[in-house]
Chains A and B, each alone.
Chain A
Amino acid sequence: MYDVIVIGTSWGGLDAVSRLLDGLDDAVRQPIVVVQHRSVESQEGALARILGDHTSRTVCDPDDKTEIEPYHVYLGPPDYHVLVEEGHIALSTDDVVEYARPSIDVLFESAADAYGDRAIGIVLTGANHDGARGLARIKQRGGVAIVQEPETSTRRAMPDAAIAATDADAILPLDEIPKFLYGLCT
């Protein structure tokens, strides 16, 4: 069984994550951790509120060591890397990676490492290459790699890079990802 779902996205990501959460069946109880690149100045809590309107899951900006619970969505806070350890979130203020903090690669690699074949990684629309290496690591450790179909992504650079870096288990239009997750997780 799977114990965590990690999602990475940048350009167009807010809309994409909203739609994904909208379509996700309540039977999918796995905690979800999202890194959406955003500016340092972006309003703390604003993203959580917006996404909260699209789901009955609890959406939150976690603190360091916040426990990871089922049916919750955790957002990487601006200006911190977000990592997962077994059972809880770990934040770090390490150097910016490829212009990004939070970095998708950092989250994904930590998920691969802590959860191994119990992790599901999803790369959605985005305008850079972040997430490709992390998704490959998830796959390498026996987890599941899902990529949004580049043709139907607002920006295709990130899905393209992810597909080039790893042999994805599924390349899907956004609206089909929730169904695929349902199949995996229930």
Chain B
Amino acid sequence: MALPLTETAAPPPEDPELEQLEIDLLLEAVYRRYGFDFRQYAVASLKRRLWRRLAAERVGTISELQARLLHDPRCMERLLLDLSINVTSMFRDPTFYLAFREKVVPLLRTYPFTRIWCAGCSTGEEVYSLAILLEEEGVYERTRIYATDINENVLTTAREGVFPLASMQQYTENYIRSGGKHDFSRYYVAAYDGAQFPHSLTENVVFAQHNLAMDRSFNDFNVIICRNVMIYFDRALQDRVHGLFHDSLEMFGILALGHKESLAFTSHAGSYDEIDPAERIYRKIR
């Protein structure tokens, strides 16, 4: 589990400029040594997490943390857990799924085959939700979902399809509000404290590691869903990823973002029409 954002952090250094220099050097070191590129992550949350790791490692400065990271790969693993924020849930923001059902699915019906890229899928709750929705709408069979994340660990969980039983009540409510057509309990089998979802739901899903900050496009898509991932990036990196998505979307393809993510602040705002502005569902028009 990633550490919470604000448990007691190490005291902030007295000299903000020095701190910034140390952070820049640490991120550069992490990138050059391990290939993980956090250099363009949104700075405010990133700093909080570094302070947190500093306290947990009982080191006094970011430079000391850097030394440990370079010499001890296990320390890097711990930092990686801190930096990857995997919070997710099934039918998160039910109104989004409702809008997807009502406004996007009708478009998908007109396609012989649909490729969907779910970028930053975390532990898979989003992917299973989508698969359930598409199945209920009768289009799952001619859909392939490419579900990617930077973090191999969350993908392993995603492939297993076992989610906490304790969350099912919340997910059931979400499912109903998202326009779900059945009794949600038909989709899982309780086993100990887990809810196992059937493998049939991932028959048309490919889970793969992909880093939005570094990797290239790997296919053409009709739909790209990337929710609550880019809010952790700075503007320059957001622009890069939007470029990647724009290149990967077919003309009139659909782009869906998180509720608080806007195309307005990116250089690609002019390339899309709004399908549902409140739900941040867009359609590529140029």
> Taking beta carbons and an 8 Å cutoff, which residues of A are in contact with B?
62-67, 77, 80-81, 83-85, 90-95, 97-98, 103, 105-106, 109-110, 112-114, 116, 137, 140-141
Given contacts A113-B44, A116-B16, contact A94 B260 (CB under 8 A): no
Can you show 30 pairs from A to B with CB atoms below 8 A apart?
A: A63-B260, A63-B264, A63-B265, A64-B230, A64-B231, A66-B262, A67-B265, A83-B45, A84-B44, A85-B44, A90-B231, A91-B231, A92-B85, A92-B231, A93-B228, A93-B231, A94-B4, A94-B87, A95-B4, A95-B5, A95-B87, A97-B6, A103-B5, A109-B48, A110-B44, A112-B12, A113-B47, A114-B44, A137-B12, A140-B12
**Which residues of B (222-255) have their CB < 8 Å from a CB of A?**
228, 230-232, 235, 238
Given contacts A85-B44, A116-B16, contact A65 B5 (CB under 8 A): no
Given contacts A64-B231, A113-B16, contact A91 B4 (CB under 8 A): no
Please indicate the chain B residues that have their CB under 8 angstroms from the CB of A114 in the complex. Answer: 44
Is B43 part of the binding interface, using a Cβ–Cβ cutoff of 8 Å?
yes
Which of A62, A66, A105, A113 interacts with B6 by CB under 8 Å? Answer: A105
Give A179 to B6 CA distance when docked, in angstroms. Answer: 33
Is B42 part of the binding interface, using a Cβ–Cβ cutoff of 8 Å?
yes
Interface string of B81-102 (1 = CB under 8 A from A): 0000101000000000000000
Tell me if A65 and B45 are in contact (CB < 8 A). no
Tell me if B262 and A92 are in contact (CB < 8 A). no
* Minimum C-beta distance from A130 to chain B (A): 10
Is B261 part of the binding interface, using a Cβ–Cβ cutoff of 8 Å?
yes
Given contacts A83-B45, A84-B44, A113-B16, contact A64 B260 (CB under 8 A): yes
* B interface, size bucket: 20 to 34
Given contacts A84-B44, A94-B45, A116-B16, contact A64 B262 (CB under 8 A): yes
Q: Ordered nearest first, which 9 A-B pairs have the shortest CB separation?
A: A94-B5, A83-B44, A63-B262, A64-B231, A95-B4, A110-B44, A65-B265, A97-B6, A63-B260
Interface of chain A, main secondary structure: mixed
Given contacts A92-B85, A92-B231, A97-B5, contact A85 B260 (CB under 8 A): no
Tell me if A80 and B5 are in contact (CB < 8 A). no
> Taking beta carbons and an 8 Å cutoff, which residues of B are in contact with A?
2, 4-6, 12, 16, 42-45, 47-48, 85, 87, 228, 230-232, 235, 238, 258, 260-262, 264-265
Most buried by B among A84, A97, A113: A113
Tell me if B260 and A80 are in contact (CB < 8 A). yes
Tell me if B238 and A65 are in contact (CB < 8 A). yes
Give A137 to B6 CA distance when docked, in angstroms. Answer: 13
Please indicate the chain A residues that have their CB under 8 angstroms from the CB of B45 in the complex. Answer: 83, 90, 92, 94
Please indicate the chain B residues that have their CB under 8 angstroms from the CB of A140 in the complex. Answer: 12
* Minimum C-beta distance from B79 to chain A (A): 16
* Minimum C-beta distance from A83 to chain B (A): 4
Identity of the chain B residue whose Cβ is nearest the Cβ of A98 in the assembled complex = B6
Please indicate the chain A residues that have their CB under 8 angstroms from the CB of B16 in the complex. Answer: 113, 116, 141
